[in-house]
Structure 1
Amino acid sequence: MTAEPGPEPGPEPDHGPGHGPGRRHLRQLLERAVRVELRVRRAVEARRRTDPNPDDEFRGLYLTEETILRLLEEGRPFPAPDDATEPGAPGEPAEPGAESAVYEERAVTDSPLSGLIREFELTALDVEILLITLVPDLDDRFEAFYAYLNDDVTRRRPTIGLALGLCGLTPADAAARARLGPHAPLRSGGLLLVEEADRPFLGRALRVPDRVTAHLLGDRTPDPRLADLLAAWHPVEGVGDAKALAGAVDSGVLLTYLREDQGGAGTALAATALSLTGRGVLGLDLARLAEDPTPVEAVRALVREGRLTGAGLVCAPVDALSREHPELLRLLTSAPLPTAMVGRVPWDAAWATRPPLLLNAPRVEPSVRSRLWHEAYPGPAALPADLDVGLLLAPFLLTPDQIEGAAAGAAQTAALTDGPVDATDVRRGARAQNAAGLDRLARRIEPSVGWPDLVLPPDVHAQLRELTARARYRDQVLGTWGMRPGGGRGRGVSALFAGDSGTGKTMSAEVIAADLGLDLYTVDLATVIDKYVGETEKNLERIFSEAAGVNGVLLFDEADAIFGKRSDVKDAHDRYANVESAYLLQRMESFDGLAILATNLRANLDDAFTRRLDLVIDFPVPDAEHRRLLWERGLGGALPRSPDLDLDFCADSFELAGGNIRSIAITAAYLSAESATPVTMPILIHAIQREYQKLGRLTLASEFGPYLRLLT
Structure 2
Amino acid sequence: MSGADGIGYLWERLGLVGIRVARLVAERRRDDPRPDDPFRGLYLAADDADRLVAPSPVPEPVDPAEQRARAAAEERADRAAEAGTEPRLRQLAHVFGLTALDVEVLLVALLPDVESRYERLYGYLNDDVSRRRATVGLALELCGATPGDAIGRSRFTGSAPLVAGGLLMVEQPDQPYLSRSLRVPDRVAAHLLGTDTPDPRLVGAAWATEDHLAAEPPGEVSDGSERTRIAERLGDALRSGVSLGYLRERPGGAADDLAVAALVRAGRAVLRLDLDALAADPAPAELLAAAVREARLRAAGLVAGPVQALDPVGRPEQARLLRRLADQPVPVLLTGSDEWDPHWTRRAPLLVTAPPLDEQGRARLWRAAGGTRDADRPAGWADGVDPARELAPYLLGSDQIRRAAQAADQLALLAGADQVGADHLHAGVRGQNAGGLARLARRIEPGVGWTDLVLPGPVHDQLRELALRVRYRDRVLGRWRMRPGGGRGRGVLALFAGDSGTGKTMSAEVVAADLGLDLYVVDLSTVVDKYVGQTEKNLERIFTEAAGVNGLLLFDEADAIFGKRSEVKDAHDRYANLESAYLLQRMESFDGVAVLTTNLRANLDEAFTRRLDLIVDFALPDVAQRRALWDRCLGTELPRDDDLDLDFCARNFELSGGSIRACVVTAAYLAAEAGRPVRMADLIGAVQREYRKLGRLLLESEFGEHRPRGEPARVDRPREDSHARTRSTGP
Query: Structure 1 length as normaliser, TM-score?
Result: 0.84
State the 1:207 CA deviation: 1.6
Q: Per the alignment, in what secondary structure is the counterpart of residue 196 of structure 2?
A: coil
Distance change >3 Å, CA 141–CA 91, structure 1 → 2:
farther
Aligned to 2:151: 175
Aligned to 2:59: 93
State the 1:148 CA deviation: 3.3
Matched, 1:188 2:187: no
Q: Per the alignment, in what secondary structure is the counterpart of residue 707 of structure 2?
A: helix
Q: Report the Cα distance in structure 2 between the residues aligned to 1:545 and 1:96, rounded to whole angstroms.
A: 70
Aligned match of 1:132 in 108, 111, 120?
A: 108
Q: What are the within-5 Å matches in structure 2 for residues 8-19 of structure 1?
A: none
Distance change >3 Å, CA 615–CA 442, structure 1 → 2:
same
Q: Can you list the C-alpha shifts for 1:219-265, whole angstroms capped at 9, x where unaligned?
A: 11222222312354632333412332221111101112222322224
Aligned to 2:16: 35
Aligned to 2:565: 566
Aligned residue type for 1:240: T
Distance change >3 Å, CA 623–CA 221, structure 1 → 2:
same
Q: Report the Cα distance in structure 2 between the residues aligned to 1:139 and 1:637, rounded to whole angstroms.
A: 82
Q: Can you list the C-alpha shifts for 1:61-114, whole angstroms capped at 9, x where unaligned?
A: 5899xxxxxxxxxxxxxxxxxxxxxxxxx9442679996974556545422111
Matched, 1:311 2:332: no
Aligned to 2:387: 389
Instruction: After superposing the two structures, state which structure 1 stretch, 540-549 or 480-489, moved more.
Output: 540-549
Distance change >3 Å, CA 626–CA 710, structure 1 → 2:
farther
Aligned to 2:337: 344
Aligned residue type for 2:347: R
Aligned match of 1:259 in 248, 251, 257?
A: 248
What's the C-alpha RMSD, in Å, of the aligned pairs? 3.5
State the 1:60 CA deviation: 8.6
Matched, 1:365 2:339: no
Distance change >3 Å, CA 229–CA 533, structure 1 → 2:
farther
Q: Per the alignment, in what secondary structure is the counterpart of residue 495 of structure 1?
A: strand
Aligned to 2:51: none
Aligned to 1:145: 121
Decide whether the 8 Å contact of 1:63 with 1:148 is kept in 2.
no
State the 1:654 CA deviation: 4.3
Q: Can you list the C-alpha shifts for 1:342-369, whole angstroms capped at 9, x where unaligned?
A: 2222222223222222222233333444
Q: Per the alignment, in what secondary structure is the counterpart of residue 674 of structure 1?
A: helix
Aligned to 1:240: 228
Q: Report the Cα distance in structure 2 between the residues aligned to 1:60 and 1:340, rounded to whole angstroms.
A: 52
State the 1:307 CA deviation: 0.5
Decide whether the 8 Å contact of 1:189 with 1:304 is kept in 2.
yes
Q: Can you list the C-alpha shifts for 1:296-339, whole angstroms capped at 9, x where unaligned?
A: 32222111111001111222333333677554433332221122
Q: What are the within-5 Å matches in structure 2 for residues 591-602 of structure 1?
A: 591-602=590-601
Decide whether the 8 Å contact of 2:5 with 2:77 is kept in 1.
no
Q: What are the within-5 Å matches in structure 2 for residues 205-354 of structure 1?
A: 205-230=181-206, 232=209, 234=213, 235=217, 236-237=219-220, 238=223, 239-241=227-229, 242-321=231-310, 325-354=318-347
Decide whether the 8 Å contact of 2:440 with 2:523 is kept in 1.
no
Q: Report the Cα distance in structure 1 between the residues aligned to 2:62 and 2:436, rounded to whole angstroms.
A: 60
Q: Can you list the C-alpha shifts for 1:528-583, whole angstroms capped at 9, x where unaligned?
A: 33445554444333333332233222222333333233345555554444443333
Aligned residue type for 1:707: R
State the 1:404 CA deviation: 5.0
Q: Can you list the C-alpha shifts for 1:496-546, whole angstroms capped at 9, x where unaligned?
A: 222333221211111111112222222223313344555444433333333
Q: Report the Cα distance in structure 2 between the residues aligned to 1:204 and 1:577, rounded to whole angstroms.
A: 72
- In structure 2, the gaps of 5 or more residues are 46-55, 372-376, 713-731
Aligned residue type for 2:639: P
Q: Report the Cα distance in structure 2 between the residues aligned to 1:699 and 1:247, rounded to whole angstroms.
A: 79
Aligned to 1:17: none
Q: Report the Cα distance in structure 2 between the residues aligned to 1:96 and 1:662, rounded to whole angstroms.
A: 100
Q: Per the alignment, in what secondary structure is the counterpart of residue 519 of structure 2?
A: strand
Instruction: After superposing the two structures, state which structure 1 stretch, 237-246 or 368-377, moved more.
Output: 368-377
Distance change >3 Å, CA 206–CA 573, structure 1 → 2:
farther
State the 1:213 CA deviation: 0.7
Q: Report the Cα distance in structure 2 between the residues aligned to 1:144 and 1:563, rounded to whole angstroms.
A: 83
Q: What are the within-5 Å matches in structure 2 for residues 480-491 of structure 1?
A: 480-491=479-490
Sequence identity percentage? 60
Decide whether the 8 Å contact of 1:322 with 1:329 is kept in 2.
no
Aligned residue type for 2:307: V
Q: Report the Cα distance in structure 2 between the residues aligned to 1:638 and 1:675, rounded to whole angstroms.
A: 17
Q: Report the Cα distance in structure 2 between the residues aligned to 1:169 and 1:245, rounded to whole angstroms.
A: 46
Decide whether the 8 Å contact of 1:25 with 1:111 is kept in 2.
yes
Aligned to 2:142: 166
State the 1:653 CA deviation: 4.8
Aligned to 1:69: none
Matched, 1:356 2:349: yes
Decide whether the 8 Å contact of 1:63 with 1:153 is kept in 2.
no
Decide whether the 8 Å contact of 1:526 with 1:558 is kept in 2.
no
Aligned to 2:90: 114
Q: Can you list the C-alpha shifts for 1:94-151, whole angstroms capped at 9, x where unaligned?
A: 6799969745565454221111111110112221222222112111223223333444
Distance change >3 Å, CA 128–CA 554, structure 1 → 2:
same
Q: Per the alignment, in what secondary structure is the counterpart of residue 158 of structure 2?
A: coil
Q: Per the alignment, in what secondary structure is the counterpart of residue 310 of structure 2?
A: helix
Q: Can you list the C-alpha shifts for 1:565-608, whole angstroms capped at 9, x where unaligned?
A: 33455555544444433333222222222111223333332222
